[in-house]
Amino acid sequence: MSQQNIQSVVIIGAGNVAWHVARKLDEAGIHILQIVSRSLSSSKPLADAVHAQYAGNLHSVNRNADAYIISVSDDAISKVIRDVEFDDHIAIHTAGSVTVEVFQPFARHYGILYPLQTFTKGRDVEFREVPFLIEASDPDTLSGIRKLAGLLSDHVVETSDMERCRIHLAAVFACNFTNHMFAVAEMILKQAGLSYELLKPLMRETLKKAMEGSPADVQTGPAIRGNFEVMDRHIAMLERDPELQELYRLISKNIASAEKKTKH
């Protein structure tokens, strides 16, 4: 087979990413041969949606696909790679922080197709604007993965392991930690019977400002103003949750020291 021309795939995993990638590849004319997960309750509905076969274990993986897209939880990627025979076919994973070494010595042609976006099953995403970070074992495989990614997005970027892991680290701060802060804010209001809706204009404007320029230039709040009285009061209000108190202190300290670094 030619690694440059991927026309059929098996998708291993039926979670958030697989749910999106399978549908978009199907729409783009790629033949999805099979969806494989640990349980038929997740593989079957996705397989039905993309007219594919399904399996609930790795022993029944279809051996005829041009490429195998492994979109399972990060900790399970190496086990899946060990358990599937890829022969000359391409093995691909979709993780931000799992390096290409995970494929060695189990696959001859392999690569990474990491979509830099947060995915939830059933929630539409503007795919063509999602950056897809790619890497591969050899030029032909890279070309095949680039073409596949190009069917999904207008932003396909070749990155090294080191660059991708760094981008993933930044993404954890920009997305996962930020979302957790929103969840904490919601909880603080809910505990007092107050509406989370009140915060939404503030959340929108925060995001807008951070997108329009450098977020470091538009930081506001008691930590950057050095308003210790207010900060002490906030910490006292969190007395029932020592972990949140610690988080409040740490983030405030980091905001203050980041401000000092930019001034010097």
Interface residues with ligand NAP (CB under 6 A)? 12-18, 36-39, 42, 58, 71-74, 76, 79-80, 94-96, 114-115, 118-119
Per the CB < 8 A criterion, the answer to whether 42 and 12 are in contact is no
Coil/strand/helix, residue 115: strand
- Residue spans of alpha helices (H) in the chain: 16-27, 40-49, 77-83, 139-152, 161-171, 178-191, 200-212, 222-225, 228-237, 242-263
Considering the complex, state which of residue 76 and residue 174 has its C-beta at the smaller distance from ligand NAP: 76
261-to-52, 60, 132, 216, 254 alpha-carbon distances in Å = 55, 56, 33, 11, 10
Considering the complex, state which of residue 119 and residue 196 has its C-beta at the smaller distance from ligand NAP: 119
Smallest distance, ligand NAP to C-beta of residue 80, A: 5
Considering the complex, state which of residue 36 and residue 134 has its C-beta at the smaller distance from ligand NAP: 36
Smallest distance, ligand NAP to C-beta of residue 259, A: 31
Considering the complex, state which of residue 91 and residue 223 has its C-beta at the smaller distance from ligand NAP: 91
Smallest distance, ligand NAP to C-beta of residue 36, A: 6
Considering the complex, state which of residue 47 and residue 95 has its C-beta at the smaller distance from ligand NAP: 95
Contacts within 8 Å (CB) and 24+ apart, 252-260: 252/222, 252/223, 253/223, 255/219, 255/221, 255/223, 255/224, 256/223, 256/224, 256/226, 258/216, 258/219, 259/219, 259/224
Smallest distance, ligand NAP to C-beta of residue 211, A: 19
> Would you state the structure tokens that stand for residue 189, as one six-digit string?
């209001």
Considering the complex, state which of residue 164 and residue 223 has its C-beta at the smaller distance from ligand NAP: 164
Smallest distance, ligand NAP to C-beta of residue 19, A: 7
Tell me how far apart the alpha carbons of residues 58 and 91 are, in angstroms, rounded to a whole number: 14
Smallest distance, ligand NAP to C-beta of residue 168, A: 8
**Paired sense of beta strands 67-70 and 8-12, if any:** parallel
For ligand NAP, the nearest residue by Cβ is 15
